Amino acid sequence: MQKRRLGRSGPMVSSITLGTMTFGEQNTEAEGHAQMDRAFDAGVDILDAAELYPIPPKPQTTGRTEEIVGSWMKARGNRDRVTVATKVVGRTVMDWFRDDGSPGRLIRSQIVEAVEKSLRRLQTDVIDLYQVHWPDREVPGFGSNPTRWARVEPASDETAIEESAAVFADLVREGKIRWLGLSNESAWGTMRWIAAAEKGIGPRPIAIQNAYSLLNRTYEVALAEVGEREGVGLLAYSPLAQGYLTGKYAGGALPEGSRKRLFDRLQRYEKPGTAAAVDAYVGLARDFGVDPATFAVAFTLNQSCCTSSIIGATTPAQLETCLAAARLEWTAAMQQAVDAVHQRVGNPAP
């Protein structure tokens, strides 16, 4: 497994990150432990979680994912060999994260409460990478990188980036987090966090976790240059477009146990034009004699803008298929082929 520097000054991490958002919902604690065992045997050394997880978010399960990650590290005694990443929620109407029932905001009291709770659940003294799951400000759409702009009115109680950044600076000084990361952020937002750091207000973000896949290459439009020039590494999430790029939903199929069948939360990847794009990429993978899931993950691993790709699985077989991407030789012919399809279909699922 290849190791890469995360950002300008972050840790060396594996080119594949294990996502854990199914732990505590679709996967039991034992199954989560087994996945982490296998991933780390394969060379993965970074885990991604969130206070929000597991998905779908609900009061009854919030925090279970971090608890499972924490119990695994304690049982294996390997905390010093794991890069632990987790997240604090941004602006949200969900009101079950905070003890006083407040809806989520990136204000000091909420960030501090979130960090303390994550530390307890993870059974650790420090979080390696602490990420802002999504912005506090109102944005045109989740992910902050639309292909068409739609103006939104700022919230009357919007928390300034500089205000949040100052809290993270204190948490770094206190030794509770090592590095700051962003998620679902835009080029503008990323530069504002960087500008705040350059003014001495907060820590400089070393990573950004955004959606990045064959169906959504919007990261390349503006953020890739920001990442390269400013030293912010991409942790690519949803490289399989929530399972669509495996081909399992082709023709309207609804496999037993699939996220679409269980939760019907995949609308981001069901927009006009996505079905034809999925068929094109799945067909391309098969033309090259590669499993479509392995092919899709390998695409992200082999783009210069991506530091590490976050894989997620609910079964051992799915995990093996994703891990195989690290061993696939990505050729110039493969790159030319996917670029040709992208030229034709664009980014149907931003």
Per-residue model confidence as pLDDT tens digits over 208-246: 999 999 999 999 999 999 999 999 999 999 999 999 999
pLDDT band, residue 136 (cuts 50/70/90): very high
Tokens 């894989």 belong to: 311
The ranges assigned to domains in the chain are 3-243+306-329
- More confident site: 154 or 259: 154
Per-residue model confidence as pLDDT tens digits over 80-117: 999 999 999 999 999 999 999 999 999 999 999 999 99
Spell out where the chain has E strands: 3-5, 12-14, 16-19, 46-48, 83-88, 127-132, 177-183, 207-211, 233-237, 306-311
Question: For residues 223 and 187, is the Cβ–Cβ distance under 8 A?
Answer: yes
DSSP 185: -
Number of Cβ within 10 Å of residue 253's Cβ equals 11
* pLDDT for the residue numbered 266: 80
Q: What is the pTM (predicted TM-score) of this model?
A: 0.97
Active site residue ranges: 53
Share of the chain above pLDDT 70, in %: 100
CATH number of 3-243+306-329: 3.20.20.100
Q: Is the peptide bond before 154 cis (omega within 30 degrees of 0)?
A: no
